[in-house]
Amino acid sequence: MNAPRQVVVLGASGFLGSAVVRALAADPGVRVRAVSRRPAVLPRSLAGRVEVCTADLTERGALDRAVAGADAVLPFTARIRGASGWRLSEDDTEAERVNVGLVRDLVAVLAERAPTAGGPPAIVFPGSNTQVGRVTAGRIDGSEPDRPAGVYDQQKHAAETVLKEAAAAGLARAVSLRLPPVYGPGSPTAEDRGVVSTMVRRALAGQPLTMWHDGTVRRDLLYVEDAARAFTAALAHADALTGRHYLVGTGRARPLGEVFEAVARAVARYAGTPAVPVVSVEPPAHADPTDFRSLEVDPSAFSAATGWRALAVRDGALDEALDRTVAAVAAAHAEAVSRS
């Protein structure tokens, strides 16, 4: 089927949400509404093609207005880190309200609508591949039983379950894409706090890149443009995908020591300075056992259903992607300094 005509992106000013807005707006057959607490910053080429709405979706009536007339909704609103620490705590009620409550509210809003000839609206949810929990296998394909351990993963899993139940009830064509760590350039106001951009900022500041292990722990890292294309592909195949979750990734996990070395070299190329060292350090108290286990994603089920595949996997693609990431992070920092 064709992509829905009116697509609403919630959390559109964030790192991944803003990338998906750009990908959707490239299709002249799609009207995009970008909703966020702060205005989404768009490239000049998209001026007039995206409806930008500013709203606090936790306020009464705001969500209903935001998704009015939507054929599809992509909820990227999320609270990822706690107020006083790296990970969420169980008593973080604001995180539960954002990460789970807004999804419940979205389903409730859609349930009140009269049925349309086009069927129920599509919802494509950004899940996490770590929702599976502490698996012993080094490669997962989405068929494993879920045992989410951390609070954030438990909340992602709860929201995903709400959407699967909505799909079973015929209230939405809902699908969850479970993502690995996503990296790449973002919009000027969409700070990526993932591991790659965190290390880019450290290297730009001349600081060593630190690992909590010996560097052999492997992760599947997905370039942000590949991730955005996965969401547009899911929208185009919502009828076939509804009611399920799918893993999205490159299918090729990289040792983090090699990734961090590549980050150091990319920053050195950009700045014209020697590469900062990559060193192992003692893990902090909040480290989790999953931080020390390798995990590789098998995206074959999603690829078979949609034809999607990651493109930034060829030889040399990582260095090219890191060069773009470094330039974007440096530009965002310079812009922030100029505004201060």
N- to C-terminal Cα separation, the chain: 47
pTM summary value: 0.92
- Residue 298's contacts (CB-CB under 8 Å, 6 or more residues apart) are 139, 140, 141, 142, 247, 249, 251
Of 267, 184, 226, nearest in space to 15 by CA? 184
Q: Where are the alpha helices (DSSP H) in 68-186?
A: 93-96, 102-111, 151-168
Burial of residue 326 (CB within 10 Å: 0-12, 13-18, 19+) is buried
Give the relative orientation of helices 256-271 and 317-339 as an angle to the nearest 10 degrees: 60
Residue ranges, the chain, pLDDT below 70: 1-4, 81-88, 114-118, 188-191, 337, 339-340
Tokens representing residue 59 in the block: 């306020």
Convert the pLDDT of each residue in 185-211 to its tens digit: 987 666 677 899 999 999 999 999 999
CA atoms lying within 13 Å on the CB side of residue 257: 10
pLDDT digits (tens, 9 = 90+) for 145-190: 999 988 899 999 999 999 999 999 999 999 999 999 999 998 766 6
**Number of helices (H), then strands (E), in the chain:** 11, 15
How far apart, in whole angstroms, are the C-alpha atoms of residue 143 and residue 210? 34
pLDDT of residue 81: 63
